[in-house]
């Protein structure tokens, strides 16, 4: 039986409160991530280099590990993107640059959207991500730039997506 293809918008009943790495009640006050320059303030993680330097001097600011850094440390992906095909072999560097640029754009919107790892072999590239949204974005941008076949495979009952692109 062929796997059903979903569009990025067809997943309506995704629960957003099932991420085991997100604190249920949030952190009290302001916190800085030990692994990256993330700042937790007003129940939101963000990046701001100047504010990070200023807050490092404040002794009342707690030091923690942000959910994205913890997922990277634990190797806990919520998205897996597989890129394959003959076209990939000839355009690998261009596609990897596009993937890295998309990660930077995603991080500017949500600092917890990151790439965990990129496994580059002769015939495919496998990218693991900290959440499903960045996996969708990477697949969508690669298809937009290079056409090809794109397929989303959602897991049953939790927030995990496999995105497969081929050309």
Gap between the Cα atoms of 75 and 54, Å rounded = 31
Instruction: Tell me if 10 is assigned to some domain.
Output: no
Gap between the Cα atoms of 74 and 68, Å rounded = 10
Instruction: Tell me if 19 is assigned to some domain.
Output: no
Higher pLDDT, 17 or 121: 121
Same domain for 53 and 112? no
Gap between the Cα atoms of 22 and 157, Å rounded = 18
Same domain for 50 and 130? no
Same domain for 78 and 160? yes
Total domains in the fold of the chain: 2
Confidence of residue 1 (pLDDT cuts 50, 70, 90): very low
Same domain for 87 and 51? no
Instruction: Tell me if 156 is assigned to some domain.
Output: yes
Same domain for 52 and 87? no
Condensed to tens digits (0 to 9), the pLDDT of residues 98-111 reads 999 999 999 988 88
Instruction: Tell me if 49 is assigned to some domain.
Output: yes
Instruction: Tell me if 109 is assigned to some domain.
Output: yes
Condensed to tens digits (0 to 9), the pLDDT of residues 60-76 reads 899 999 999 999 999 99
Domain that holds residue 40: 31-65
Same domain for 155 and 99? yes
Distances (CA, A) of 60 to 15, 30, 31, 38, 75: 34, 8, 9, 16, 31
Give the domain-ending residue among 46, 65, 84: 65
């Amino acid at each position: 039986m062929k796997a059903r293809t979903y569009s990025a918008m067809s997943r309506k009943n995704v629960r957003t409160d099932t991420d085991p790495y997100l604190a249920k009640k949030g952190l009290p006050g302001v916190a800085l991530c030990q692994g990256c320059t993330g700042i937790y303030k007003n129940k939101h993680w963000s990046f701001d280099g100047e504010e990070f330097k200023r807050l490092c001097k404040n002794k009342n600011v707690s030091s923690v590990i942000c959910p994205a850094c913890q997922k990277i440390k634990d190797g806990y992906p919520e998205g897996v993107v597989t890129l394959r095909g003959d076209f990939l072999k000839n355009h690998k560097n261009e596609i990897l640059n596009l993937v890295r640029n998309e990660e930077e754009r995603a991080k500017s919107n949500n600092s917890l959207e990151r790439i965990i790892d990129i496994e580059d072999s002769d015939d495919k590239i496998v990218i693991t991500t900290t959440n499903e949204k960045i996996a969708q974005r990477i697949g969508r941008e690669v298809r937009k730039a290079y056409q090809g076949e794109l397929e989303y495979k959602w897991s049953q009952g939790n927030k995990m997506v496999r995105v497969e692109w081929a050309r």
